[in-house]
Amino acid sequence: TQLLEQSPQFLSIQEGENLTVYCNSSSVFSSLQWYRQEPGEGPVLLVTVVTGGEVKKLKRLTFQFGDARKDSSLHITAAQPGDTGLYLCAGGAGGTSYGKLTFGQGTILTVHP
Amino acid sequence: DTGVSQNPRHKITKRGQNVTFRCDPISEHNRLYWYRQTLGQGPEFLTYFQNEAQLEKSRLLSDRFSAERPKGSFSTLEIQRTEQGDSAMYLCASSLPGLVNEQFFGPGTRLTVL
């Protein structure tokens, strides 16, 4: 069974601070997605990484896939109140289970003005 | 352009009743997925279709749950004899074929079983 562990589970910071969320597993994933979810809504895809060591930037968000494709991180620079939400990482298994994503339990981020 | 849509958005039912949810994927996406999410957790995979074929089912999907995608377009998820433990957000996602498997989610159906 593939598991993804996210840390921290909760993060409460002031506007302008930087933060990093981690997503770790003992399993190798063929791809890894990061999503952001608002209360009562479905997850919204932020980025997909597929190559070990890959780094992608989306404005103030930087995503990195570990060299061994077992872990990933999300770094937010100068956080804003609009960044508040639940951040989820999800791994694509590949092989015969390439249809499903395995999700971490999420990181609830609150950015105070 | 429309994304993934789900109906209803909210459903309140009494224990023992049957409920059915509908998902309409993005039109050119041939893969469709159902997930369940409880409060404070990430989504958990339930089942997956490629066109009309159901290719994988989770052990979470008990025999009270059934999903169909009869014409390879929309899908339905039915829960028979609902239990309070079925209360959750039911999410549908769709994707194009390929190894990258970027999945796009609908807004979900919030089920409350009283």
For B63-79, what is the mean pLDDT?
94
For A12-19, what is the mean pLDDT?
97
Q: Are B105 and A100 an interchain contact pair (Cβ–Cβ within 8 Å)?
A: no
Q: Which of A43, A45, A51 is nearest to A33 (CA)?
A: A45
Mean residue pLDDT of chain A comes to 92
Place of tokens 């620079």: A77
- Are the C-beta atoms of A57 and A44 separated by less than 8 Å? no
Q: Which of A55, A36, A14, A17 is nearest to A106 (CA)?
A: A36
For A60-89, what is the mean pLDDT?
96
- Collect all residues of chain A within an 8 Å Cβ-Cβ radius of residue B45: 100-102
For B35-60, what is the mean pLDDT?
92
Label residue A75 exposed, middle or buried (CB < 10 Å: 0-12, 13-18, 19+): middle
Q: Are B56 and A33 an interchain contact pair (Cβ–Cβ within 8 Å)?
A: no
A29 touches chain B (CB under 8 A): no
Provide the pLDDT confidence category of residue A7 given band limits of 50, 70 and 90: very high
Q: Residue A1 above 80 pLDDT?
A: no
Winning range, highest mean pLDDT, from B14-23, B25-34, B58-67: B14-23
